């Protein structure tokens, strides 16, 4: 079950700054549930090449729901009125950048055309959630030369890890019966 925005914001999560992401979901013609992710450009200073949901930092005076919708529109051209926000997932902290990320889940139509913000986004990935779930594993990765073992979700050459993997775990817990 998804959380209400108020319930999600009432959860205490470590993070000096607030951010919001949108997990856009749709069903394809076969009835399979898909999630839309972005792969960040490899030349970015922050989180280069990582897979994430569209999102970003909350602007002053902005509601977190509006942050998620604004960022999805800016990053992948997803019009706000094309999203039906269904609810929230529990917030998750980032370890290195000290963000508290508030994930919103939204239903969209299949077959939307993406307009990529080329300064930040390399690709839009539409991944079947069953494949994401089946790609779960613990994997040894290295960040800035430091090896560590972490939860990951791999679909082909795409590896989801970090805060996005924690968000995906919450998403799969709540959508498992729909897959």
The band of 143, judged by pLDDT with boundaries at 50, 70 and 90, is confident
Whether the per-residue pLDDT at 171 is higher than 90: the answer is yes
Cβ neighbors of 156 (< 8 A, separation 6 or more) are: none
9 bridge partner residues: none
Asked if residue 112 has pLDDT above 90, the reply is yes
Confidence of residue 173 (pLDDT cuts 50, 70, 90): very high
CA 171 to chain centre: 10
Structural domain harbouring 96 = 5-178
At residue 177, the pLDDT reads 76
What domain count does the chain have?
1
Quote the CA–CA distance of 154 and 157 in Å, as a whole number.
Answer: 7
Token pair listed for 27: 């069903």
Mean pLDDT of the chain: 93
Helix (H) or strand (E) segment spanning residue 100: strand 99-107
Alpha-carbon gap, residue 110 to 19, rounded angstroms: 26
Tell me the pLDDT tens digit for each residue of 2-11. Answer: 999 999 999 9
Find the CATH number of the domain harbouring 25: 3.90.79.10
Distance of CA 8 to the CA centre of its chain: 16
Measured CA to CA, the distance from residue 107 to residue 145 in angstroms comes to 38
pLDDT tens figures, 17-38: 999 999 999 999 999 999 999 9
């Amino acid at each position: 079950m998804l959380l209400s925005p108020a319930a999600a914001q009432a959860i205490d999560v470590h993070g000096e700054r607030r951010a919001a992401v949108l997990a856009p979901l749709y069903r394809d013609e076969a009835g399979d549930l898909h999630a839309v992710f972005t792969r960040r450009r490899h030349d970015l200073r922050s989180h280069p090449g990582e897979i994430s949901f569209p999102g970003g930092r909350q602007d002053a005076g902005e509601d977190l729901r509006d942050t998620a919708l604004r960022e999805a529109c800016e990053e992948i051209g997803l019009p706000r009125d094309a999203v039906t926000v269904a609810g929230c997932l529990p917030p998750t902290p980032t370890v290195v950048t000290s963000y508290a990320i508030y994930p919103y889940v939204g239903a969209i139509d299949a077959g939307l055309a993406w307009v990529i913000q080329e300064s930040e986004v390399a690709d839009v990935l539409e991944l079947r959630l069953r494949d994401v779930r089946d790609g779960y594993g613990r994997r040894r990765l290295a960040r800035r030369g430091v090896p560590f073992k972490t939860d990951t979700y791999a679909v082909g050459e795409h590896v989801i890890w970090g805060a996005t993997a924690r968000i995906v775990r919450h998403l799969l817990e709540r959508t498992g019966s729909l897959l």
